Chain A
Amino acid sequence: MVQITLTVNGEPVDVAVAPYKTLLEVLREDLNLCGTKHGCELGECGACAVLLDGQPVLSCLVLGVDCGGRAVTTVEGLASDGRLHPLQETFADLGAAQCGYCTPGFLVTAKALLDEHPRPTRDHIRDALSGNLCRCTGYQQIYEAVEAAIAKGSR
């Protein structure tokens, strides 16, 4: 086991991780943060996306031991002060989450996009989300939710 310290959703966390475990497994199994999902564990579906130092990564392709000293944001960290993030509000309101399984990955990827480009075009949104698979929605209501969040002044 390797002892690491990282910041998870704004809070410092000390955790002993098995050296072979992915960040996905550390989050779900060692830190009980089951909001992050898995669909392939091979970097193909985007369900396990989290933000690592603000950038979207596939947590199934990152080793936990490599995350010492870094900041991880998961879906559990999107709401603040008891209020949902605007993306969460619009995803819930506008049908962007059907089964909800791919939703955490889409939310953090969309957040990273809006953090960097507050006013992306539809094409820009489409490009940014092209690594996340959703089998339910056909993506259209997801674009609309991202655009509605922009209109709400999402950051």
Chain B
Amino acid sequence: MKIVGTPRRRVDGRAKVTGQTKFADDVVLPRMLHCKLLRASVPHARLVRIDASRATAHPGVHLVLTGNDFPIPYGILPVSQDEHALARDKVRFVGDPVAAVIARDEQTAFDALDLIDVEYEPLTTFADPEDSLANPTPRIHEYGDTGNVHKLVSLQFGDVEQALADADRVFEDIFFYQGNTHLPIEQHAAVAAKDPDGKLVLWSSTQTPHYVHRALAKTLEMPAAHIRVIATPNGGGFGGKSDPFNHEMVVAKAALLLDRPVKICLTREEVFYCHRGRHPVLMQFTTGMKKDGTIAGMHVKTLLDGGAYGSYGVASTFYTGALQTVTYHVPAYHFQGCRVFTNKPPCGPKRGHGTPQSRFGQEIQLDKIAEALTQDPAELRLRIVERPETLTANYLRVGTIGLSECIRRVTRAADWANTFRKLPHGRGVGLACSSYLSGAGLAIYWNDMPHSGVQLKLDRSGGVTAFCGATEIGQGSDDVLVACVAEVLGIDPLDIRPITGDTDLTPVDLGSYSSRVTLMMGNAAIQAAERARDLLADAVSRKLGVPRERLVFADRRVFDTEDPGKGVTFSDAVCLAEAAFGTIGTTGSYTPPKSAARFKGGGVGPSPTYSYSAAIVEVDVDPDSGWIHVPRVWIAHDIGRSINPVLVRGQVEGSVYMALGEALMEEQIFRRLPPRLSDALVHKFPSMLEYKSPTTLDMPEVFTELIENPDPRGPFGAKEVGQGPLLPVMPAIANAVYDAVGVRIDEVPITPEKILKALDAKAAGKAPRYGPSHFPDIPWPEPVRVAPPWEGGDGKAQDVGRQKEEGRSTAAKAVIRS
């Protein structure tokens, strides 16, 4: 291969370094107006009255919109259509939009917000999940599994109770993972306009133009064919621009009503309130181990603080329990998950979506288990790595697994054998591993259509244009698109023009989430390119009298592999094909394989294949101040195959960076304003100065190793890299802190204060740890029971009548055992 695997300048590199990449706020149109949103100043209240008459009369104001203008709800998931563009009957968090002003400029719109009179009737504020669990009323939403519980999940694969009873040792640990936010440097922005035909165009910094397209059609009651959504390149996304947003609906509606372009750009404070970031998760891991160091069974409970709306939350809940089995072999597995509503900005998907929290718990617990069993944590993990090309207990079909090699590479690179438990007090190393999806196996909404489509246009100029709905959020999706096409057609990636993320021009791709783009778009691109290559090969074969199978496409030529001098240029090959077959255009598409899981809830977790990572982090901890310094991180990632190694390394290092922020400093947390103000529950520090994120001065040296073992399911063997490498870093840091100073910090962020508290506890003869010690009682439903593949299961839930019988017999057994 000439292109794939060779370090290259990304196709959009020049635009980015010359400042010419056009982000959403760079879209400026004639006669454009500006929009500002009035956001709720109270966290939970009935909306009694809105009077916008003074704002409407303000000079320079063109329009004021309220909830009455948006009767139809929307939401990213079909099961939680619980948002309105502007609040109608109640507000659910400080920051919930209640009205919009459209004016001649931003300042005028901002000034007019003060002229809108809103009367609220306050309701009880739910600040944390235990509040919401304890108080079913007043309900934040009129839907959900019970009271203020949004979603309850219980999935059981095999007889976990028996497995734990039969285990030689059972370990039970409770962990807490604090919420944090994406903090893309680009604030969300959108511009809407009526095009000359009267149709709607929306430019937006969105990761999911296809889903925004659907949401606009629904809420505006317009034919989707009359709406065009253009995803401008995102100035960072990380999951935070994956929901359809209020501000997109508002400017779209305003542009239609006013017949003028309308722009909105959120302030940084508003971005913090938009959120959709990492769920705070309390979790309990109960793991049974056998004498030989293998896992007997595992029971995981998670409690997610969902914030005020559904967002991706149902999927997030399932994800906290989905991938434990993909990394290590778990013969019997029970997962219980609960998501509650609270009066805070909605949580959703952030890089790793729902899996970093439970990965943190699982990998720290494994470290504790290794110590209790006096085993080396790396050796222990090598023994339990899941088998490749197999079905897990919860019916996830795993492909290639490079995890063992990842562990061997990082332990060698970090000199693990001579450092673990061997460094002086205050210095330590920690290891952790992970796995992640290479694309969600199911779309957000149920359908049988492809997840990604690519069209190619080739013409007599020799130019190739590649069209795909995929969205460039910085990860390099445009580059993957052109690289795949260039490799097949034997031309230079820079010969190809990518046109992406435009619902009018490009075939549907579901969006930049779940690490799906490289695998799905890449496969679609290869199919389209191979179809084009076949047409060109036919025409060249006829012209040269060389059999098709002897033709090679390389170096912008098509030539005879047995006589390389005999050939034509790529442009001439296109001309020959255009003459022979007419206009040359091909398509390719990709649909993931059907999941083996056939039970309710089995839709979250399946992926065409999974990536694997292992990380070792070195820390220096000052026992007097608790100060933590991370000098070095070694990380190995099972990429399958690197399409462009420059970008792959960037994704690994960027993941390590973001993980360090989560592990050591980033917190999306809230406080009550003083009663003399309003007592409202507000973000503690919605600014980039106080929401601490790592700067150049905080970033360690990162040593990256890429494990290249092509997976036949990926394009040229490639798997994902955007999210997986983040996952092992947080627990590796916690494990390193333990190695350094002998205390367990069982929650993030790991701060000097928490380390000092744990050291004090240790000195006082108490448990040497800092973290939660209690998991609340939750009204779990009867589990969906599915027999694992090795017990003759077929992926379907067992018959309910039989389940009840079994439930009784299990209870009877439990009594006998006791």
Q: Is B707 an interface residue (CB 8 A)?
A: no
Question: How close is A14's CB to chain B, nearest CB, in angstroms?
Answer: 21
Q: Is B693 an interface residue (CB 8 A)?
A: yes
* Bound form: Cα–Cα A94–B9 in Å: 7
Interface segment among B17-25, B96-104, B371-379, B798-806: the answer is B17-25
Chain A contacts of B607 at CB under 8 A? none
- Contact with B696, one of A84, A98, A129 (Cβ below 8 angstroms): A129
Contact assessment for A103 and B17 in the assembled complex, using a CB-CB cutoff below 8 Å: yes
Contact flags A29-64 to B (C-beta < 8 A → 1, else 0)? 000101111111110110100000000000000000
Contact assessment for B187 and A38 in the assembled complex, using a CB-CB cutoff below 8 Å: yes
Chain B contacts of A104 at CB under 8 A? 19
Q: Is B179 an interface residue (CB 8 A)?
A: no
Chain A contacts of B657 at CB under 8 A? 135, 137-139
Contact assessment for B19 and A98 in the assembled complex, using a CB-CB cutoff below 8 Å: no
Interface size on A, residues (CB 8 A): 52
Q: Is B238 an interface residue (CB 8 A)?
A: yes
* Bound form: Cα–Cα A42–B13 in Å: 28
Contact assessment for B18 and A88 in the assembled complex, using a CB-CB cutoff below 8 Å: yes
Contact count A vs B, C-beta below 8 Å: 166
Contact assessment for B695 and A39 in the assembled complex, using a CB-CB cutoff below 8 Å: no
Contact assessment for B697 and A75 in the assembled complex, using a CB-CB cutoff below 8 Å: no
Contact assessment for B17 and A88 in the assembled complex, using a CB-CB cutoff below 8 Å: yes
Q: Is B814 an interface residue (CB 8 A)?
A: no
Contact assessment for A35 and B236 in the assembled complex, using a CB-CB cutoff below 8 Å: no
Contact assessment for A42 and B184 in the assembled complex, using a CB-CB cutoff below 8 Å: no
Contact flags A71-96 to B (C-beta < 8 A → 1, else 0)? 00011101100001001110111110
* Bound form: Cα–Cα A138–B268 in Å: 21
Contact assessment for B23 and A101 in the assembled complex, using a CB-CB cutoff below 8 Å: yes
Contact assessment for A101 and B235 in the assembled complex, using a CB-CB cutoff below 8 Å: yes
Question: How close is A142's CB to chain B, nearest CB, in angstroms?
Answer: 8
Contact assessment for B695 and A101 in the assembled complex, using a CB-CB cutoff below 8 Å: no
Main secondary structure of the interface of B (DSSP, over half): loop
- Contact with A41, one of B23, B268, B475 (Cβ below 8 angstroms): B268
Q: For residues 266 through 324 of chain B, which have their beta carbon under 8 Å from a beta carbon of chain A? A: 267-268
A104 to B, closest residue via Cβ: B19
Q: Is B81 an interface residue (CB 8 A)?
A: no
Contact flags A101-145 to B (C-beta < 8 A → 1, else 0)? 111100100000000000000000011011111111111110100
* Bound form: Cα–Cα A94–B701 in Å: 17
Interface segment among B41-49, B65-73, B420-428, B645-653: the answer is B645-653
Contact assessment for A140 and B268 in the assembled complex, using a CB-CB cutoff below 8 Å: no
Q: Is A99 an interface residue (CB 8 A)?
A: yes
Question: How close is B738's CB to chain A, nearest CB, in angstroms?
Answer: 25
| Given the contacts A75-B19, A92-B17, A99 and B473 also touching, CB distance less than 8 Å | yes
Question: How close is A91's CB to chain B, nearest CB, in angstroms?
Answer: 5
| Given the contacts A34-B26, A42-B268, A75 and B650 also touching, CB distance less than 8 Å | no
A126 to B, closest residue via Cβ: B696
Main secondary structure of the interface of A (DSSP, over half): loop
Contact assessment for A134 and B185 in the assembled complex, using a CB-CB cutoff below 8 Å: yes
Contact assessment for B695 and A130 in the assembled complex, using a CB-CB cutoff below 8 Å: yes
Chain B contacts of A103 at CB under 8 A? 16-17, 19
Chain B contacts of A76 at CB under 8 A? 18-19
Contact assessment for A135 and B19 in the assembled complex, using a CB-CB cutoff below 8 Å: no
* Bound form: Cα–Cα A112–B650 in Å: 25
Q: Which of B16, B238, B268, B696 has the most CB of A within 10 A?
A: B696
Question: How close is A110's CB to chain B, nearest CB, in angstroms?
Answer: 11
Q: Is A68 an interface residue (CB 8 A)?
A: no
Contact assessment for A141 and B653 in the assembled complex, using a CB-CB cutoff below 8 Å: yes
Contact assessment for B650 and A100 in the assembled complex, using a CB-CB cutoff below 8 Å: no
Q: How large is the interface on B (under 10, 10 to 19, 20 to 34, 35 or more residues)?
A: 35 or more
Q: For residues 636 through 671 of chain B, which have their beta carbon under 8 Å from a beta carbon of chain A? A: 646-647, 649-650, 653-658
Contact assessment for B9 and A138 in the assembled complex, using a CB-CB cutoff below 8 Å: no
Q: Which of A36, A84, A134 has the most CB of B within 10 A?
A: A134
Contact assessment for A37 and B474 in the assembled complex, using a CB-CB cutoff below 8 Å: no
Q: Is A97 an interface residue (CB 8 A)?
A: yes
Chain A contacts of B23 at CB under 8 A? 37, 101
Q: Which of B10, B234, B235 has the most CB of A within 10 A?
A: B235
Contact assessment for A126 and B688 in the assembled complex, using a CB-CB cutoff below 8 Å: no
Contact assessment for B646 and A94 in the assembled complex, using a CB-CB cutoff below 8 Å: yes
Q: Is B493 an interface residue (CB 8 A)?
A: no
- Contact with B654, one of A37, A47, A137 (Cβ below 8 angstroms): A137
Question: How close is A98's CB to chain B, nearest CB, in angstroms?
Answer: 4
* Bound form: Cα–Cα A123–B687 in Å: 27
Q: For residues 1 through 46 of chain B, which have their beta carbon under 8 Å from a beta carbon of chain A? A: 9-10, 12-23, 25-26, 28
Q: Is B52 an interface residue (CB 8 A)?
A: no
Q: Is B186 an interface residue (CB 8 A)?
A: yes
Chain A contacts of B649 at CB under 8 A? 95, 141
Contact assessment for B650 and A136 in the assembled complex, using a CB-CB cutoff below 8 Å: yes
Question: How close is A78's CB to chain B, nearest CB, in angstroms?
Answer: 8
Question: How close is B728's CB to chain A, nearest CB, in angstroms?
Answer: 15
Contact assessment for A95 and B646 in the assembled complex, using a CB-CB cutoff below 8 Å: yes
Question: How close is B493's CB to chain A, nearest CB, in angstroms?
Answer: 13
Contact assessment for B17 and A39 in the assembled complex, using a CB-CB cutoff below 8 Å: no
Q: Is B257 an interface residue (CB 8 A)?
A: no
Question: How close is B471's CB to chain A, nearest CB, in angstroms?
Answer: 11
Q: Is B233 an interface residue (CB 8 A)?
A: yes
Q: Is B499 an interface residue (CB 8 A)?
A: no
| Given the contacts A75-B19, A100-B474, A92 and B183 also touching, CB distance less than 8 Å | no
Chain B contacts of A88 at CB under 8 A? 17-18
Contact assessment for A130 and B697 in the assembled complex, using a CB-CB cutoff below 8 Å: yes
* Bound form: Cα–Cα A37–B184 in Å: 13
Contact assessment for B26 and A44 in the assembled complex, using a CB-CB cutoff below 8 Å: no
* Bound form: Cα–Cα A84–B476 in Å: 21
Contact assessment for A141 and B650 in the assembled complex, using a CB-CB cutoff below 8 Å: yes
9 extra interface residue pairs, beta carbon distance < 8 Å, beyond A74-B19, A88-B17, A141-B649: A41-B268, A91-B17, A97-B16, A100-B16, A126-B696, A130-B695, A135-B654, A135-B657, A137-B657
Q: What residues make up the interface of A, taking CB atoms closer than 8 Å to B?
A: 32, 34-42, 44-45, 47, 74-76, 78-79, 84, 87-89, 91-95, 97-104, 107, 126-127, 129-141, 143
What are 14 A-B contacts with C-beta separation under 8 Å? A37-B235, A40-B268, A75-B19, A93-B9, A97-B17, A98-B474, A98-B476, A127-B696, A130-B696, A133-B693, A135-B182, A136-B236, A141-B650, A143-B696
A-B pairs, 8 with minimum CB distance: A35-B19, A99-B474, A101-B235, A100-B16, A138-B657, A92-B13, A75-B19, A138-B653
